[in-house]
Structure 1
Amino acid sequence: MQEAIRYLCDKEETLKGIIDKYGNPFIPSRPQGFVTLCKLILEQQVSIDSAKACFQKIETRLGDVSPETISKCSDDELKSCGVSRQKISYLKILAKAVSEELDLESFNSKSADEVRNELIKIKGIGHWTIDVYLMFSLQSPDIIPLGDIAVVNTIKELFDVHTKEEMERLSDHWKPYRSMATFILWHHYLEKRNRKPMV
């Protein structure tokens, strides 16, 4: 962690300014596996609080959240927990994939690109979900989630960079520690709004 922060502070004055002002960023961590991917699907395009409440209802109803219990659970049961029809479909597709061919445990020995290539094939799992899983669960060091609105808005604010292509070029300077750069950008975003990180 400290090595990455030192590298980025030497490389990028703006990131150094965030560390000088707010201290080191919070480094999120989540367990690997099916449950975390389910939670990330629920978190797409809604608040963390809303997704958390939804998952707690599913957990209360099913007891154990697993590919088997999600597959057996009726659509109406999941809908009663606050899950949209689209996300019900995504959860069931993920459960089927994990039951049949997707080996989540093998991800520890695979590169970020290999993991991305496997997960992107599953309907309902896009690049934002994959980026967060890589960063939080697999601790991949070099991810920049340009599908995350807080990251995008912070880059626009701090660097006056506005297109995805420009943001990718900017983030090239932060390799091989783009994940840490992202944590620093989130840190700035939350501190400015007096909000605490939620995982």
Structure 2
Amino acid sequence: MWKEIVSVTPPYQFDRVLERLSLDPLNAVSLEQREVRLPLRNQAKEPSIVTVRAAGTVDAPEFVVSGTDDQELMMEEVKRIFGWKESLQPVLDHFSKTSLSKLFEEHAGTPLVLDFQLYHCLMKCIIHQQLNLSFAFTLTERFVHTFGELKDGVWFYPLPETIAKLDYADLRDLQFSMRKSEYAIDTSRMIAEGILNLDELASLTDEEIMQKLVKIRGIGPWTVQNVLLFGLGRPNLFPMADIGLQNAIKRHFGLTDKPTKDEMLEMSREWQPYLSYASLYLWRSIE
């Protein structure tokens, strides 16, 4: 068992992080204890739980991180997931002079938190395509409960090798559509067979990743943008086709109708190069 104390550059709103993580029923979150138990995998790809507990405040953020093995690897993953290597102050300074200034003042210090693994993120994005959020969470929960692993009360997403061996009927039994079953299993087979190497994506540009992934059946621009945002933490993503984002902009700016693509493009110009944070804070405003 290992334990490490980590101090992070303020401001950092971990309680807001926990609130958002708690929306997903698969996440092991305790709002009272201000902690989350992360389903990570060690070097041997075996399930390994890492606990992250807040011990500080927004203006003096400090965390107690503990686990059982591969401390160096696990700490790198935790820092990546929670964005602890980057200061949020430049983001706040940038938006203080934009049309989203009040929103960023309200949510100041809320980081962009990543999904726990890239495969996990990709499967979640495929499952969530064209579904309302409630049923998307239900379907994802069935997927993980049926084919994933449970360890000490924490659910782990299945490995791509596990899903690659399934028949389409196995997912149809969970109420996946036929197409969604094909997309999830066929993509997992590409990963398991080494045709798609998720590890190499981090070294590619946003444009290169888009070109690479949209060639795969069932993966369109919306899915790639969400993978870039929540899988890789790229800072300048603005998925304009996202209905939630459209609704948030309509509400924030008091519009009569949802904004058009051209309107979203125009109003978002001043938010660059931090469009991902604009997206996140707008989503938060309607959650």
Would the aligned equivalents of 2:127 and 2:140 in 1 still touch at CA under 8 Å?
yes
Deviations 1:19-65 (A, max 9, x none): 33455446332123222211111111223443333233333433462
In the other structure, the counterpart of 2:270 is 173
The number of aligned residues is 188
In structure 2, relative to structure 1, the CA distance for the partners of 1:68 and 1:144 (3 Å cut) is: same
The residue correspondences of 1:158-197 to structure 2 (distance < 5 A) are: 158-159=252-253, 160=255, 162-190=259-287
Q: Answer 1 or 2: which has greater strand percent.
A: 2
2:166/2:185 contact within 8 Å kept? no
Q: Deviations over 1:114-170 (max 9, x none)?
A: 111111111111122111111112110000111111111222333447220221122
Q: What residue is the counterpart of 1:45 in the other structure?
A: 130
Structure number having the greater helix percentage: 1
2:104 aligned residue (11, 19, 22): 19
Counterparts of 1:182 and 1:112 in 2: how far apart (Å)?
16
**Residue 242 (structure 2) pairs with residue 145 (structure 1):** no
Looking at structure 2, the residues matched to 26 and 61 of structure 1 have their Cα atoms a distance apart, in angstroms, of 31
Percent sequence identity over aligned pairs: 29
Partner Cα distance (1:32, 1:63) in 2: 14
TM, length-normalised to structure 2:
0.60
For 1:103 and 1:39, the matched residues in 2 are separated by 18
| TM-score after normalising by structure 1 | 0.83
What amino acid sits opposite 1:68 in the alignment? E
Asked whether the equivalents of residues 174 and 181 of structure 1 are also in contact (C-alpha less than 8 Å), the reply is: yes
Q: CA 1:60/1:167 → structure 2, altered by over 3 Å: closer, same or farther? A: closer
Q: Distance in 1 between matches of 2:146 and 2:243?
A: 32
Structure 2 unaligned residues grouped into runs of 5+: 1-87, 150-157
Give me the whole-angstrom Cα distance separating, in 2, the residues matched to 1:134 and 1:125: 13
Deviates more, 1:46-55 or 1:170-179: 46-55
Structure-1 residue corresponding to 2:68? none
CA distance in 1, matches of 2:227, 2:248: 21
Larger radius of gyration: 2
1:97 maps to amino acid? M
SS in 2 for 1:173: helix
Q: How does 1:64-103 map to 2 (within 5 A)?
A: 65-98=158-191, 99-103=193-197
CA distance in 2, matches of 1:54, 1:97: 22
| Bigger relative CO (Cα 8 Å, ≥ 6 apart) | 1
Distance 2:182 2:264 in 1: 33
User: 1:97 Cα deviation (Å)?
Assistant: 2.4
Alignment correspondent of 1:7: 94
Q: Deviations over 1:59-112 (max 9, x none)?
A: 343346233322221222211122111100111221232224211101111111
**1:4: Cα distance to partner?**
0.8
The letter of the residue matching 1:134 is L
In structure 2, the CA distance between the partners of 1:21 and 1:86, relative to structure 1 (3 Å rule), is same
Read off the aligned partner of 2:242 and give its amino acid letter: D
Match of 1:127 in 2: 221
